[in-house]
Structure 1
Amino acid sequence: MRELYVLKKSGRRVPFDRDKLARSVEVALRKRPVEHDRVERLVSGIVRRLEQSGDQDVASDTIGEMLMDALKELDDVAFVRFASVYRDFHEAKDFGDLIEELKAKEGGGAAG
């Protein structure tokens, strides 16, 4: 299997680190009631998709978006935690916008 590389926003190209991806997931899921094997499947699924893409170089943004999508399906709290760091939230309004995005995904709409 060929080695994957991550293209950072700074322009650097670094080897893909599965353990770093797994740590990011674990931090987002800290103290959440999610079984370890579900976490392992999530990480393995992302790695498999990256390997199957045919690209040796993958933008860090692509990995971040894949992880956000996976966390959104797995655990809303973990999704919000990861998104707040990944999207670099600066104010409470940013969280509100993200919650509205979650509500729309779940069919809850903006009505409350």
Structure 2
Amino acid sequence: MRCPFCGNIDTQVKDSRPAEDHVSIRRRRFCPACGGRFTTYERVQLRDLVVVKKSGRREPFDRDKLERSIRIAMQKRPIEADRLEQLISGIVRRLESLGETDVPSDTIGTIVMETLARIDTVAYVRFASVYKNFQAADDFEDFVSELRPAPAVQDED
């Protein structure tokens, strides 16, 4: 593992343990060249996924990009970092278990929306505003009105 401080390729692992989510390994590393200390995480990757964009363009799946978009949606929401990491790992595992290496971007967006809808309504709406490309306030209104339960009909005697 290359040292992020000096670029030395000969770093040493000082400590390894399971991360809080128990689906990755946390390693504390030390660089003998500059004395820098840093942490790396190792995860199981079942297959290399390729995202197929709406335009037909293909690009390698980027877990960090998924994480960034979810973190933006969850910004200032009451969710612990461990829970957020579990959520992201769960989405990635679900994508890997689809059985296909080519995954349409729509599928990824749908899975993220389903997950966020169960976790936090505000984050769900935030993510949807980007994913569904809302252009006006009316788009928000229509989307949010679908979230509200229908008013109960009362029988008149």
User: TM above 0.5, one fold?
Assistant: yes
| Runs of 4+ displaced beyond 6 Å | none
**Residue 89 (structure 1) aligned to one of 119, 122, 134:** 134
Q: Distance in 2 between matches of 1:2 and 1:79?
A: 28
Query: CA offsets per residue over residues 35-85 of structure 1, 9 Å max, x none?
Result: 111111111111111111100000001001111111111111111111011
Question: What's the TM-score once normalised by structure 1's chain length?
Answer: 0.89
Question: 1:100 touches 1:110 (CA, 8 Å); kept in 2?
Answer: no
Q: Which amino acid aligns with 1:64?
A: G
Structure with the greater relative contact order (CA < 8 A, sep ≥ 6): 1 or 2?
1
Q: Alpha carbon RMSD of aligned pairs, Å?
A: 1.3
Question: What's the TM-score once normalised by structure 2's chain length?
Answer: 0.65
Gaps of 5+ in 1: none
Identical columns (%): 59
Q: Which has the higher strand share?
A: 2
Structure 1 residue 2: deviation in Å? 2.2
Gaps of 5+ in 2: 1-45, 153-157
1:102 aligns with 2:147: yes
1:41 aligns with 2:86: yes
Q: Which amino acid aligns with 1:36?
A: A
SS at match of 2:54: coil
**Number of positions where the alignment pairs a residue of Structure 1 with one of Structure 2:** 107
Query: Larger Cα Rg: Structure 1 or Structure 2?
Result: 2
